[in-house]
Structure 1
Amino acid sequence: MTAALTTYTNVAFQKFAKEEPNMSFNHAFPGFVRSPMLTPSTWYWKIPYYLVYPIFSFISVTPEVSGDIHFAALLESPPGFHSYNPKGKLMQYKPAEEETVEIVWEHTLELTERLHEH
């Protein structure tokens, strides 16, 4: 599911960037962020929370640090579509073919219009 959401977001941003060439559209992968998802009440893995949290604390960043990194990347971003990694650096992105972008875009519009009707 995550891969599909990422793909749809990238394709949509690619389309937006083509339609608005003077604007910047950015998709950031924040990596491990110490958010409420890491609290015991939302922990859904079979691994005991007290064993995992210290490891995540060591390899993760606070929401404030992640926000600062990606806000700085956003401010420096040139027009077009760009993907950023957890450190705020540009990631390699091979744009989807124009035909694929249009197929995914039309499918998305069809689904959202159908949802709107109900």
Structure 2
Amino acid sequence: MAVCLSAPDRPDQVRQFAAATEMARARRNGVVEAASDALSMWRGPETMETAAMTRPVLRPQWFGVPAGMRQGFISVALAAFASLGLFGALAGQFMTRELDIHDRVLTSAVVFAAFGTAAASQVVSA
């Protein structure tokens, strides 16, 4: 946008001159407001107490099962792990030999879907 330095003669020049001066004024006011805000934040008093600003101690939390449920949980977890492992080990051979599907991507996708479903069900049920 061209800005004329002399007094504008035509109405479109007047509009351009007014728009340019308004933009310069807004830019100047924005810089002044930002500097004023920064100064007031730097020099202003702290509004929070320092004791409330301490950071919490973050440590890994180990999962636990209540003592009354531990025996049932362990047996179900072992059975699920064993059956899913057996499925993962035999699914590829079963699809290749019995179903005559020789696509490794497809057999891998079936095994991945089984493990993904198991992982998703644990996330959803938690």
TM-score tier (shorter) = under 0.3
Q: Relative to total residues, which structure has the larger strand share, 1 or 2?
A: 1
In our comparison, the structure showing a higher alpha carbon Rg is 2
Q: Relative to total residues, which structure has the larger helix share, 1 or 2?
A: 2
TM-score by length of 2: 0.22
TM-score by length of 1: 0.23
Larger RCO, structure (CA 8 Å, separation 6 or more): 1
